[in-house]
Structure 1
Amino acid sequence: MKLEVLQRGYTYHIYNRGINSTPIFVSDENKNYFLQLLSKYVAPHCSVFAYCLMDNHFHLLIRVDDPAEKVTQSFSNFFNAYAKAFNKATNRTGSLFEKHFKRIAIHNEEYLKQLIVYIHLNPKHHYNIDFERYKYTSYKACLSSKPTILKRDEVLNYFGDRDNFIFVHQQRNLDLHEKFLLE
């Protein structure tokens, strides 16, 4: 699979998982550190719209705001810093992530909105747990007034307002709930 080249001004779904689907997060401390590194390395060069951290994978939705070379290097620094810290903390060696992080360019607003909801509902999709209570998605940060790396106002504006943002998530959550009941 040829990797999409990151381009300034474009929005991307960035995701990856642990090599051989192994966990990349084994504690809340790991997830908090990953978010700290995201803030340090990526947020200064990209607009962050959504994230979700699961035990063996993650999803990010970002817009590239700086030159592509700078952003590519910031992602490299981000993932390398996290992998080194994780390996040291868990007494392991070798690659943590699959070879390259995946990236898909988002070319229309409707798909972008669907992707935000998909990312936030990932805990429901993979573990059938309440996405509204799951700590490691950007859903709560979108609804909070606390400082965040997210472009919260921009995200909410895609949905019209805060109430519609909640409504769309709840509707999609009901769809997933029905899917689980049928399986």
Structure 2
Amino acid sequence: MKLEVLEKECYYHIYNRGVNGCVIFENDDNKIFFLRQLSKYLLDKVSILAYCLMNNHFHLVVQLKAEQELVTQSFSNFFNSYAKAFNKQFNRTGSLFEKHFKRIKLNDETYLRQLIVYIHLNPTHHLEVDFRTFKFSSYQAILSSKETKLEKEEVLLLFGGKENFIFSHNERNDYLSKKYALE
């Protein structure tokens, strides 16, 4: 599979999972450390619009602020730093993540909005946990008045405001809940 080349100023869905679907976050501390390392290695090179950390995979929506080579190397350093710390903590060796992180370029605002909603709904549809209360997604941070490293104003503007952001998530969640109930 040929990997998408990262381009400055473009938006991307970045995601990956554990090798063979293995757990990459054993506990909340692992997720907190992952987010800290994300900030440490990438915050000056990408804008973060959304994220969700599940037990065996993660999703990020980012916009590149730096050139491809620098961002790619920073992602590599970030993932390596997390994997080394995780392996040390759990006395394991070898790869933690699948070979290359996946990336999909987002070419229009409709897809970008749909992806943000999809990412935030992951806890409900994978873990049967209410996405509104899940601690390790950007949903709560975007709605909060607290300062954050997320581009929450940009996200809210993309949805036409806070009310429409909430409405879009609830509407999609209701649709999926009814769909899965019928299956």
Q: Place the TM-score, normalised by the shorter chain, in its bin.
A: over 0.9
CA contact (8 A) 1:132 1:140 kept: yes
Structure 1: any 5+ residue segments left out of the alignment?
Answer: none
Q: State the match for 1:144 in structure 2.
A: 144
CA contact (8 A) 1:8 1:66 kept: yes
Q: State the match for 1:12 in structure 2.
A: 12
1:32 equivalent in alignment to 2:32:
yes
**CA distance in structure 1 between the partners assigned to 2:179 and 2:136 by the alignment:** 23
Q: State the match for 2:135 in structure 1.
A: 135
CA contact (8 A) 1:156 1:162 kept: yes
In the alignment of these two chains, the number of paired residues is 183
* TM-score for both structures, normalised by structure 1: 0.98
Q: Give % identity.
A: 61
- Structure 1 residue 177 displacement after superposition: 1.3
1:41-120 aligned at under 5 Å gives the runs 41-120=41-120
4+ long deviations beyond 3 Å: none
Matched residue type, 2:130: D
- Structure 1 residue 106 displacement after superposition: 0.2
**CA distance in structure 2 between the partners assigned to 1:76 and 1:90 by the alignment:** 21
1:158 equivalent in alignment to 2:158:
yes
Structure 2: any 5+ residue segments left out of the alignment?
Answer: none
SS of equivalent residue, structure 2 residue 134: coil
Matched residue type, 2:6: L
Matched residue type, 1:63: Q
**CA distance in structure 2 between the partners assigned to 1:175 and 1:149 by the alignment:** 31
Backbone CA RMSD of aligned residues: 0.7
Q: Could you report, residue by residue, the CA deviation over 1:64-113 in whole angstroms, capped at 9, with x for unpaired residues?
A: 11111111111011000000000011110000000000000000000000
- Structure 1 residue 128 displacement after superposition: 2.1
SS of equivalent residue, structure 1 residue 50: strand
CA contact (8 A) 1:124 1:176 kept: no
Q: Could you report, residue by residue, the CA deviation over 1:46-67 in whole angstroms, capped at 9, with x for unpaired residues?
A: 0100000000000000001111
